[in-house]
């Protein structure tokens, strides 16, 4: 009997093309096998590039490997890749670990970033800039009233598929090792301190010793919680989002559109971010505790109400949560620092998180280098990371959170909120 | 809004600024520039205006509404105080 090991399957479809009996089918991102049609010829096993297929009895492929690094970074988004880059640049032996098989895809993000925040870390390159933004328009859905804010080079819409990869390439060039399709399974703890982790890549189980672990594993972070840090996201601090990339949209290619409305997107907003050549990220987020239906339903309604959006065709669809709170507890403990969405570092008012993630990644790497040099990775030492983060962004995060919580869902169409949101969104 | 507050708009404005921007009292002078001297950014100013509007709301729900254009003309603490005093008079806020 042919078996599929899901964790190793790359959904390439290679086996489907080789199967003479049509027993294999690639459905969405899942390989399906019809055992009744299968004649167990084994062509598919021979043709599988990743070793995901086997004819029973399946050989035991699992082996245990022991590895050792100064720093292991979990998650290769902007926070993790930036942390890995700066840590490697300071001479540390770094492993950057990504659970997906491709860095930067799928990316759950509207891809907007303020210009200055981006320039602090990388020089803009054409290949990962989709659009340069010079204007923002805030539209109040109930009244149709629009307010436009002009500015010079307010920001960019990125092509994160490329951007995230470039950040990872930079980390690799600085000396970091990268592992793809590798999931962390558990933390190794000694006397309450994180001293490493176990991971699996579909072929090998690994026990990885680390002097320090940096958790950059996103909004659904498991690592922080395993280490005993408070990581639960309250529904009121969670923006449940859905987004299509639509093609064939006639929009101002230099303008970000924001739509506010208590019915349109309770506690959140709808957005249209241009991606150049008639493309746009069209999405919507709703505060999870206020949502009456899934975010996708709000998004479909929003698109349906706007002819210029309705005429577009979707080419990608993503859903995901954006943390719009501030970390409830500490973001560092013995042997571990948490960065990016995992540390709830996205702006509570707008949900923008790329710039903050990169900042946190750099700060964590700096503190890591110092801690490792001094041979002290205790919570007390790593608290310097949290302190630097708060010095840099604490007041702004608190302010955004204050503004977010100050307005109820119905007040978010008020003049005052629009004014605050507009300024925050434009980032000036 | 109390009579005392109306009578001393500057003290109120000053207290709100100290609380919101976390700046030392001695820096909040009438001639202090919000951006340069008090290191406030645009969102700070929006939040300050919101706080002023909220504080100076009278029992009839009327307030010293400050429009975007007017807000842009306010650069110093003294200008904010002057503007609010003028609005209180014009509107006859109770």
Which tops the pLDDT comparison, A209 or A44? A209
Looking up residue B59, the CATH number of its domain turns out to be 1.10.1200.10
pLDDT confidence of residue A57:
57
Q: How far is residue A218's CA from residue A303's CA, in Å, rounded to a whole number?
A: 28
Please give, rounded to a whole number of angstroms, the shortest distance from the CA of A200 to a CA of chain B: 45
Q: How far is CA A138 from CA A146, A422, B87, in A?
A: 6, 7, 28
Q: Give the pLDDT confidence of A161-189 residue by residue, as tens digits.
A: 999 999 999 999 999 999 999 999 999 99
B69, closest residue in chain A (CA to CA) = A419
Tell if the CB–CB gap between A428 and B42 is shorter than 8 Å. yes
Residues of A with CB below 8 A from B41's CB? Answer: 428
Residues with Cβ < 8 Å from B43, sequence gap 6 or more?
A: A396, A399, A400, A403, A420, A423, A424
Considering the entire predicted model, what is its pTM?
0.87
Residues of A with CB under 8 A from a CB of B: 395-396, 399-400, 402-403, 406, 416, 419-420, 423-424, 428
Please give the pLDDT value at position B48.
92
> Which of A396, A399, A419 is facing B68, going by the closest CB pair?
A419
Nearest to A226 by CA among A190, A188, A199, A182: A188
Predicted pLDDT of residue A47? 81
Q: State mean pLDDT over A406-421.
A: 84
Mean predicted confidence (pLDDT) in A133-146: 88
Q: Which residues of B touch A421 (CB under 8 A)?
A: none
Q: Is A114 exposed, middle or buried (0-12, 13-18, 19+ CB in 10 A)?
A: buried
Please judge whether A424 and B43 are an interchain contact, meaning their C-beta atoms are less than 8 angstroms apart.
yes
Q: Residues in chain B whose beta carbon is closer than 8 A to a beta carbon of chain A?
A: 22, 41-44, 46-47, 49-50, 53, 68
Residue A224 in this model has a pLDDT that exceeds 60 = yes
- What pLDDT, on a 0 to 100 scale, did the predictor assign at position B60? 66
Interval A393-419 mean pLDDT = 87
Chain A residue numbers touching B70 (CB-CB < 8 A): none
Count of structural domains, chain B? 1
Task: Name every chain A residue with its beta carbon within 8 A of the beta carbon of B53.
Answer: 416
Using an 8 Å CB-CB cutoff, list chain A residues near B61: none
User: What mean pLDDT is predicted for residues A290-319?
Assistant: 95
> Min CA distance, B17 vs chain A (Å)?
14
Min Cα distance A30 → chain B (Å) is: 47
Q: What residues of B act catalytically?
A: 41
Chain A, nearest residue to B48 by Cα:
A420
Distance CA A284, CA A300 (A): 9
In 10 A of CB A384, how many CB atoms? Answer: 17
* Size of the A and B interface in Cβ pairs below 8 Å: 26
Mean pLDDT, to the nearest integer, of A381-387?
A: 97
Contact B50 A416 (CB under 8 A): yes
Compute the residue count for chain A: 428
As a whole number of angstroms, the distance between CA B73 and CA A418 comes to: 19
The whole domain housing B9 covers: 3-91
Q: Which residues contact A240 (CB under 8 A, 6 or more apart)?
A: A285, A286, A287, A288, A291, A294, A295, A319, A321
**Nearest chain B CA: its distance from A323 CA (Å):** 21
Domains of chain A: 2-55 (3.30.70.20), 66-130+155-232+325-407 (3.50.50.60)
Three-state SS letters, A272-298: EEEEECCEEEEEEEEECCCCCCCHHHH
């Amino acid at each position: 009997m042919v078996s599929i090991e899901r964790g190793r399957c790359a959904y390439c479809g290679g086996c489907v093309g080789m199967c003479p009996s049509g027993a294999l089918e690639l459905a969405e991102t899942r390989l399906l096998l019809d055992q009744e049609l299968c004649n167990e010829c084994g062509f598919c096993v021979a043709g599988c590039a990743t070793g995901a297929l086997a004819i029973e009895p399946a050989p035991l492929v699992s082996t245990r490997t022991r590895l050792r690094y100064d720093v292991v970074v979990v998650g290769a988004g902007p926070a993790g890749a930036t942390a890995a880059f700066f840590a490697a640049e300071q001479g540390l032996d770094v492993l950057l670990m990504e659970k997906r098989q491709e860095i930067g895809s799928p990316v759950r993000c509207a891809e907007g970033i303020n210009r200055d925040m981006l320039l602090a870390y990388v020089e803009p390159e054409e290949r990962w800039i989709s659009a340069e933004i010079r204007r923002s328009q805030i539209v109040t859905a109930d009244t149709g009233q629009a307010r436009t804010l002009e500015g010079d080079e307010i920001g960019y819409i990125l092509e994160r598929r490329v951007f995230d990869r470039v950040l990872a390439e930079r980390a690799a060039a600085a000396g970091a090792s990268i592992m793809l399709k590798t999931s962390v399974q558990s933390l190794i703890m000694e006397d309450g301190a994180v001293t490493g982790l176990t991971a699996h890549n579909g072929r090998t189980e690994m026990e990885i010793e680390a002097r320090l672990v940096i958790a950059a594993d996103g909004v659904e972070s498991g690592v922080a919680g395993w280490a005993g840090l408070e990581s639960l996201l309250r529904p009121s601090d969670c923006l449940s989002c859905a987004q299509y990339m639509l093609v064939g949209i006639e929009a101002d290619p230099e303008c970000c559109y924001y739509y506010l409305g208590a019915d349109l997107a309770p506690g959140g907003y709808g957005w249209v971010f241009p991606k150049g050549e008639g493309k746009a990220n069209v999405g919507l987020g709703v505060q999870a505790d206020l949502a009456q239906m899934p975010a996708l339903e709000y998004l479909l309604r929003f698109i349906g109400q706007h002819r210029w959006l309705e005429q577009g065709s979707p080419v990608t669809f993503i859903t995901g949560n954006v943390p719009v709170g501030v970390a409830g507890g500490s973001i560092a403990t013995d042997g571990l620092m948490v960065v990016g969405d995992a540390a709830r570092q996205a702006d509570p008012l707008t949900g923008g998180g790329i710039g903050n993630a990169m900042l946190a990644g750099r700060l964590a790497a700096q503190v890591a280098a110092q801690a490792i040099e001094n041979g002290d990775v205790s919570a007390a030492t790593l608290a310097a990371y949290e302190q630097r983060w708060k010095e840099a962004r604490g007041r702004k995060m608190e302010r955004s959170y204050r503004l977010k919580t100050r307005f109820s869902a119905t007040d978010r169409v008020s003049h005052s909120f629009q004014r605050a949101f507009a300024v925050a969104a434009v980032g000036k | 809004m109390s009579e005392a507050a109306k009578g001393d708009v500057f003290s109120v404005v000053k207290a709100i600024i100290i609380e919101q921007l976390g700046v030392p009292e001695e820096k909040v002078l009438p001639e202090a520039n919000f951006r340069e001297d008090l290191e406030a950014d645009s969102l700070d100013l929006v939040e300050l205006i919101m706080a002023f509007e909220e504080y100076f709301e009278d029992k009839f729900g009327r307030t010293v509404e400050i429009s975007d254009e007017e807000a842009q003309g306010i650069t110093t603490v003294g200008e904010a105080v002057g503007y609010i005093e003028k609005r209180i008079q014009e509107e006859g806020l109770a």
